Amino acid sequence: MIKNIVFDLGNVIVQWNPTYIISQFENDEAVQQKLMTHLYGSPHWQHFDAGTITREDLIKNVGQEFTEDYHEKIHDMVHHWHKHVPPIAGMAQLVKDLKEQGYQIYLLSNTNIHFDEYKDTIPALQYFDGYYISAQNKLMKPHAEIYHHFLQTFSLVAGECIFIDDILANVESAINVGIVGYHFDGDTNQLREFINQKIHR
């Protein structure tokens, strides 16, 4: 029996589009591409989400690739990217409906340690019962350890959980540890149908 619905954050609850985010800070296309390479698409950002470097380290490391006149902009992009991740259409309503039906709602996300600074700006998150953040636990999807530790942290049974993620490797890894997985493609109505099928079996 399904009792718990577990969501990823980027491209599930909110839109994560680094190209769009960068465009909100920088107009020059060549610089935009460089920022993609050295910031959001870089190993530095992955280490930031993994909790192995600080925000200050990230800004310093990325800043070394740019002239000093870009350093303030890089600082702003690291601190304020979350202001440019609009909600996925229909997702807040789906989460609200599931919560009202009595399901426990959880977040399992590869994101940075400053999650608490911006979580209240995302409408759907008000209905969540627990948040599992990669940087806070020094574990990252799709490694199996993160799913085992997530289940242990909230005393959940794998087979009683549905996990929704936009990255197939993350879904497959969850399935491998016994969690029901769903590869989200942006269609909230289709996700709702899948959940209804699973919970009414």
Average pLDDT (130-143) is 98
Domain CATH number, residue 104: 3.40.50.1000
| Helix 71-80 with 55-63: angle, nearest 10 deg | 140
Are residues 8 and 48 located together in one domain of the fold? no
Same-domain check for residues 108 and 184: yes
Task: Report the pLDDT value the prediction gives residue 87, as an integer from 0 to 100.
Answer: 97
Residues 190 and 120 in one domain: yes
Tally of domains within the chain: 2
Q: What pLDDT does 37 receive?
A: 97
At residue 201 the predicted structure's pLDDT band, cuts being 50, 70 and 90, is low
Residue partners of 114: CB distance under 8 A and separation at least 6: 55
Q: Is the pLDDT of residue 16 over 70?
A: yes
Same domain, 67 and 143: no
Query: What pTM value is reported for the model?
Result: 0.95
pLDDT tens column, 54-108: 999 999 999 999 999 999 999 999 999 999 999 999 999 999 999 999 999 999 9
Using a 10 angstrom Cβ sphere, with 0-12 exposed, 13-18 middle and 19 or more buried, the burial of residue 99 is middle
| 105 and 189 assigned to the same domain | yes
**Per-residue pLDDT at 158 exceeds 70:** yes
Are 190 and 121 members of one domain?
Answer: yes
Give residue 192's domain range.
Answer: 4-15+86-199
- Tell me: pLDDT of 200 over 80: no
End-to-end CA distance of the chain: 8
By three-state DSSP, how is residue 10 classified? strand
pLDDT at 199: 79
Percent of the chain surpassing pLDDT 70:
100
pLDDT of residue 198: 86
Q: Look at residue 10 and tell me whether its pLDDT is greater than 90.
A: yes
Q: What is the 3-state secondary structure (H, E, C) of 134-181?
A: HHHHCCCCCCHHHHHHHHHHCCCCHHHEEEEECCHHHHHHHHHCCCEE
Same domain, 48 and 137: no
Question: Same domain, yes or no, for 182 and 92?
Answer: yes
CB 85 within 8 A of CB 9: no
- Give dist(CA 156, CA 144) in Å, integer: 15
pLDDT tens track for 139-150: 999 999 999 999
